Amino acid sequence: MDTHDHHHDGKRVEDQRLITGHGKYAADWSVPGQLYGHFVRADHAHAQIVSVNTQRALAAPGVKGVYTGADAVAAGYVRAAHVLGSAGKNGMKARALDRPVLAHGKVRFAGEAVALVVADSAGAAADAAELVEVDYRVLQAIVDPEQALAPGAPLLDEAVPGNLVYECEAGNEAAVAEAIKNAAHVTRLRVDCTRVTPSPMEPRACLVTYDASNESYRFNVVMQGVTTQRKMLSSWTGVPEDKLIYETGDVGGGFGQRTPAYPEYAALMIAAKALGKPVKWVSSRVESFLTDNHGRGNIAEGELALDKDGRFTAFRLNWIADMGAYLSPGSAGHIRNTTTCLTGVYHIPAAYALFKVPLTNTTPMGSYRGAGRPDIAYVVERFVDQAALELNMDKADLRRRNFIPVNAFPYKTPTGSTYEIADMPGVLSQALALADWSGFAARRAQSERRGKLRGIGISTVIEASGAGNAPKDEVELTLDANGTVTLYTVSKAQGHGHETTLGTIVARALGITLDRVKVVQCAPGSTLIGGHTGGSRTTVGVGSVSHLGALKLIEEGKALAALELNLEPSQIQYAKGEFTSSESKRKLKLADIAKAKTKTLSVLVGGTFGSTYPNGCHISEVEVDRETGATQVVSYCGVDDCGEVINHAIVEGQVQGGVVQGAGQVFGEQIVYDKNSGQPLTASFMDYPMPRAGLVPEYRGEERATQSKVSPLGVKGVGESGCTASIPSLVSATLDALRTVGVTHLDMPLTPSRIWGAMQAGK
Ligand code: MCN
């Protein structure tokens, strides 16, 4: 492409600002006269609130107000949005509980907000919070999702029998039963996809300013795009969306966790309105662990049936998706995205899954990088590995034998998705070569000599990207008199480099340099339609519409140039920022067009693009120390198909970041609750190990694009691919090493103690 801006490929325009400390994050917003909020949080996982006494706190120095569940109920801020909208098994509707934004009557997880203390300094608010007296009648807590579903389990709510808030199914149960009956081999497995917490670097923060003159609220808050959060907050509070104005700067990581409206934001609204003063709250890291939505937390058990030639004939799963104490708005992904890719990259004629969604006395569950995609990929890939082990087949061969053939696309899955295009045999071959798959035996022997068990792991995965809940994506493009093009979006980067990639898309379409394009995300009061940044949808959705917007800008420009030159628009050509015509000697630059218009030229464009399916193969090698069970990733490579790539360095960074995030879950991260009290035992980085840069040394990635027709740019998403592929690949590698000492299955996290224990048992 001759207009391709090579100079900027790789360099992110936002980095100078971000790495020199000039980013403006949620906690950096302040306004004169603001007050500070501090939340009193439940110190029991399950308890009746007998009384809340705020008298002493109210009398404390600097305190301006104390708000409780009674205030939340009085405001009517009680019904959180959730998106488990479709009918479940036998027409079951999700049983949504009321969730007053400050707990009322009962607390259902440790850390739930019970009261909000507002004072003239953060310290005064924190001190006074100690004086709020809450009298609890402690109830038996239930934190294990399987136990929550067992008969006689303590109930979180009388309105939810058996703690079962939702149940749904997908696929054809009878066809699966029939195929399993006739199978030559059936692999049975139970796989645990552990509960983890996304842990973005920037903790939550929110400053709310109430404007009594028009009854509107202004938010400086951490978010992943304005539309989703605004809509959720509106449905929670009943305040119309156009009265909720968002203004934010940079976001220090989101990973799904920063998408929804949280109850704290609505509680701050109550205080800001009552006191007539802006109120600011900045979360501590402990509050993050306790109250930011967790991710994953799925248990799958089932069967994979094969015929005598090693071809998959059926797949059945019983899936338990722990939702925590309340159905949070991000909860649907755990079922929707799982169903979408239930059969992975394989042609499996019959498939069926039954999803049970229990409530437990734990932090509510939400979307975490992949939101069900890594979970189902991990489960499917564990089954395939296990089948290969049981049938003594090469893991790569078994996969190749069962891939959906390239000529079968678009491919309709047994659960009703239509995969657009993938070339799994090609992706696999490229990855096997990159990883030197056939040279593994020699490397294993070498490790053996150093006293290490070495294993090789593989994953071949697919996931949906694009689509989303919004009916379409809209952007606005303006052209001003100095020739600068500004792109307005309602999506929001959290570190993705959208200023670079969306800017590049516009710059390429216009044939101008990137420095002439400005990207403005979530301008205050924006009424553009669109989704938030999530589901790896921004490039497919917002990117595609930005491209169309630039083309429309050219068309409008041609019309204006024609007027200026006294010609017909059809007589005008456009290239590289200039309008020309064979009928005229005059050349008009973009800036001239804006000047001719005497005001800014602006176009609004919308488009709907649907889902497209990134896919890939990741091959890793892991060494296990025989004496200690300690693991080391010694090789990691991946081949990914995300369609056309806008920025190669950003795509590599996205995959690499996802890979390491997946590795964190594989080797250490896990949220653990005390089974009896329901108290979280992992509420700080002292007991919750974040992955370090050295966990996955030297990631080697290659691209292999198949063209998506869903988007005019031919792009597929990539933001979640690394997570989806790395979890199954790294578990596969570790179990391959452990297989040599008699261990056939182990659930995450694959910590040294767990591995050592399994090795002892395997002996
Ligand atoms: N890209 C590209 N060419 C493609 C596809 C993507 O150049 N063919 C670029 C994009 O333009 C964008 C980045 O790669 O700069 C990711 O694009 P995309 O796959 O469209 O995903 P989104 O931008 O919608 O990001 C969402 C995705 C999700 S769902 C999570 S969770 C996640 C992730 O991205 N959270 C992140 N990556 C993250 N990266 C950072 N730094 N921080 C997070 O919180």
135: region left, alpha or beta (phi > 0 left; psi from -120 to 50 alpha): beta
Q: Say if ligand 1 is within 6 A of residue 369 CB.
A: yes
Question: Ligand 1 atom 37: the closest Cα is on which residue?
Answer: 719
638 pLDDT above the threshold of 80: yes
At 383, list the tokens: 């089954």
Mean pLDDT of 678-683: 98
Q: By C-alpha distance, which of 291, 278, 288, 285 is closest to 118?
A: 278
pLDDT, position 9: 57
Q: Which of ligand 1's atoms lies nearest the C-alpha of 535?
A: 29
399 pLDDT above the threshold of 80: yes
What is the rounded distance in angstroms from the CA atom of residue 271 to the CA atom of residue 570?
A: 59
Cβ-in-10-Å burial (0-12, 13-18, 19+) of 441 comes to exposed
pLDDT, position 82: 72
Beta bridge partners of 285: none
What is the rounded distance in angstroms from the CA atom of residue 581 to the CA atom of residue 595?
A: 19
For 489, phi and psi rounded to 5 degrees? -130, 165
Which pLDDT tens digit goes with each residue over 8-66? 456 899 999 999 999 999 999 999 999 999 999 999 999 999 999 999 999 999 999 99
Mean pLDDT of 617-627: 97
pLDDT, position 187: 98
721-739 vs 752-762: helix axis angle to the nearest 10? 30
Q: Say if ligand 1 is within 6 A of residue 535 CB.
A: yes
Query: Could you give the angle at the alpha carbon of 417 between the alpha carbons of 415 and 419, nearest 5°?
Result: 130
pLDDT, position 1: 35
What is the rounded distance in angstroms from the CA atom of residue 87 to the CA atom of residue 167?
A: 9
Query: Could you give the angle at the alpha carbon of 170 between the alpha carbons of 169 and 172, nearest 5°?
Result: 110
State which amino acid sits at residue 379. Answer: V
pLDDT, position 179: 98
Using CA atoms in the order 19, 716, 698, 257, what is the torsion angle rounded to 10 degrees?
Answer: 50
Mean pLDDT of 628-643: 98
7 pLDDT above the threshold of 50: no
Cα Rg for the chain, rounded, in angstroms? Answer: 27
Query: Could you give the angle at the alpha carbon of 338 between the alpha carbons of 336 and 342, nearest 5°?
Result: 125
What is the rounded distance in angstroms from the CA atom of residue 179 to the CA atom of residue 304?
A: 10
pLDDT, position 595: 83
Q: Which of ligand 1's atoms lies nearest the C-alpha of 498?
A: 15
477-491 burial code (b ≥16 CB/10 A, e <16): bbbbbebbbbbbbbb
Q: Peptide bond before 749: cis, by omega within 30 degrees of 0?
A: yes
Give the Å distances, CA to CA, from 107 to 94, 135, 143, 354: 21, 12, 14, 30
At 751, list the tokens: 């910590």
State what percent of residues in the chain have pLDDT above 70.
Answer: 98
Q: Which of ligand 1's atoms lies nearest the C-alpha of 255?
A: 31
What is the rounded distance in angstroms from the CA atom of residue 624 to the CA atom of residue 756?
A: 10
At 532, list the tokens: 């938030």
Which pLDDT tens digit goes with each residue over 687-704? 999 999 899 988 999 999
What is the rounded distance in angstroms from the CA atom of residue 519 to the CA atom of residue 567?
A: 33
Q: Say if ligand 1 is within 6 A of residue 541 CB.
A: no
Q: What is the CA 688 to chain-centroid distance, rounded?
A: 20
Q: By C-alpha distance, which of 1, 14, 2 is closest to 517?
A: 14
Q: What is the C-alpha end-to-end distance of the chain, expressed in Å?
A: 60
Choice from 4, 491, 710, 718 to test ligand 1 binding pocket (greatest atom count within 8 A of CB): 718
Q: Say if ligand 1 is within 6 A of residue 329 CB.
A: no
Q: How many CB atoms lie within 10 A of CB 127?
A: 18
pLDDT, position 598: 61
State what percent of residues in the chain have pLDDT above 90.
Answer: 92
Which pLDDT tens digit goes with each residue over 353-380? 999 999 999 999 999 999 999 999 999 9
DSSP H helices, 298-354, are 333-340
117 pLDDT above the threshold of 60: yes
The residue with greater pLDDT, 627 or 83, is 627
Q: Which of ligand 1's atoms lies nearest the C-alpha of 540?
A: 20
Q: Which of ligand 1's atoms lies nearest the C-alpha of 715?
A: 8
Question: 88-102, 277-291, 354-368, 517-531: which range is least confident on average?
Answer: 88-102
Q: Are 572 and 631 in contact (CB under 8 A)?
A: no
Mean pLDDT of 181-199: 98
Cα-to-centroid distance, 7 and ligand 1 (Å): 21
Question: Ligand 1 atom 32: the closest Cα is on which residue?
Answer: 255
Mean pLDDT of 649-660: 97
Cα-to-centroid distance, 327 and ligand 1 (Å): 26
524-544 burial code (b ≥16 CB/10 A, e <16): eebebebbbbbbbbbbbbbbb
Give the residue carrying structure tokens 């090698």: 621
Question: Ligand 1 atom 16: the closest Cα is on which residue?
Answer: 719
Q: Say if ligand 1 is within 6 A of residue 497 CB.
A: yes
Cα-to-centroid distance, 228 and ligand 1 (Å): 17
Cα-to-centroid distance, 719 and ligand 1 (Å): 4
Q: By C-alpha distance, which of 570, 568, 566, 571 is closest to 581?
A: 571
Q: Which of ligand 1's atoms lies nearest the C-alpha of 501?
A: 11
Task: Enumerate residues 6+ apart whose C-beta is below 8 A from 716.
Answer: 465, 466, 540, 612, 613, 614, 641, 642, 643, 708, 710
Mean pLDDT of 389-402: 98
Q: Say if ligand 1 is within 6 A of residue 503 CB.
A: no
Task: Enumerate residues 6+ apart whose C-beta is below 8 A from 7.
Answer: 513, 514
Choice from 13, 250, 337, 538 to test ligand 1 binding pocket (greatest atom count within 8 A of CB): 538
Q: Say if ligand 1 is within 6 A of residue 97 CB.
A: no
Question: Ligand 1 atom 13: the closest Cα is on which residue?
Answer: 496
- Containing 727, the helix (H) or strand (E) segment is helix 721-739
350-372 burial code (b ≥16 CB/10 A, e <16): bbbbbbbbbbbbbbbbbbbbbbb
| Mean per-residue pLDDT of the chain | 95
Report the DSSP pairing between strands 216-221 and 205-211. antiparallel
Mean pLDDT of 474-503: 96
Q: Say if ligand 1 is within 6 A of residue 646 CB.
A: yes
Q: Say if ligand 1 is within 6 A of residue 659 CB.
A: no
pLDDT, position 6: 43
Give the residue carrying structure tokens 């109920």: 73
Res. 2 pLDDT band, cuts 50 70 90: very low
Q: Say if ligand 1 is within 6 A of residue 253 CB.
A: yes
